[in-house]
Amino acid sequence: AQTVTQSQPEMSVQEAETVTLSCTYDTSESDYYLFWYKQPPSRQMILVIRQEAYKQQNATENRFSVNFQKAAKSFSLKISDSQLGDAAMYFCAYKEYGNKLVFGAGTILRVKS
Amino acid sequence: DVKVTQSSRYLVKRTGEKVFLECVQDMDHENMFWYRQDPGLGLRLIYFSYDVKMKEKGDIPEGYSVSREKKERFSLILESASTNQTSMYLCASSYRTGGGTDTQYFGPGTRLTVL
């Protein structure tokens, strides 16, 4: 079964600084999708960014970007110019063609002012 | 905007009670999901449904059942609640293409405590 590992239970970043959250996954498939979801303290989970495995180019959404290393099965999230509103639990998730997402354990991000 | 709503934010039940958690989505999504979220374990899929009256077991279905009588509504049922079912329950919905563009949209969650 596919597994997703987030090795950092908690991270801290100073406001306006950059932080990188790590994610590795295990799969024997070549086609799949990867996601980062954000769960703020209010608890509504929202999609931050997604990456298709067949695309070489790393996905970017405003201050959020990923470093996708397919051979290493690594999918890290970089948050630039961190803001107080970025404080949340971040989940990395994996999906093959089909309907099921597999989530990592999550990383709590704290933003210091 | 997609809206996924859950019937309760907080729920306290007694051991042995039958518990219903309701989820409603307003985007005409075919797929609906129930997850359980526990610290250090992330989200684990309990059940999902890809159409009315259709359901499939996820990774941890034991002790749970589901019902989907209408497209917009997906219910999670704890037939006889136990203390180890104390958890956060999240509902989600998505289109059924199966590809990566069918984002799952989540509800706000229900924090269930079983005493």
Of the candidates B44, B96, B108, the beta carbon closest to that of A44 is on B108
Query: pLDDT tens digits for chain B (115 residues)?
Result: 669 999 999 999 999 999 999 999 999 999 999 999 999 899 999 999 999 999 999 999 999 999 999 999 999 999 999 999 999 999 999 987 766 667 899 999 999 999 9
pLDDT tens, residue by residue, B8-25: 999 999 999 999 999 999
pLDDT tens, residue by residue, A1-22: 689 999 999 999 999 999 999 9
Q: How many helices (H) and strands (E) does chain B have?
A: 0, 11
In chain A, the percentage of residues whose pLDDT exceeds 70 is 98
Of the candidates A45, A46, A100, the beta carbon closest to that of B45 is on A100
**What is each CA distance from B27 to A33, A94, B5, B11, in whole angstroms?**
23, 23, 12, 26
pLDDT tens, residue by residue, A58-80: 999 999 999 999 999 999 999 99
Smallest Cα distance from A106 to chain B, Å: 6
Interface touch A44/B106, C-beta < 8 Å: yes
Decide if A23 contacts A5 (C-beta within 8 A).
yes
Q: Identify the sign of the CA torsion A18, A36, B89, B108.
A: positive
Q: Is B32 exposed, middle or buried (0-12, 13-18, 19+ CB in 10 A)?
A: buried
By C-alpha distance, the chain B residue nearest A44 is B108
Q: State the Cα–Cα distance between residues A29 and B55, nearest whole angstrom.
A: 25
Per-residue pLDDT, B102 = 74
Contacts of B103 in chain A (CB under 8 A): 47, 50
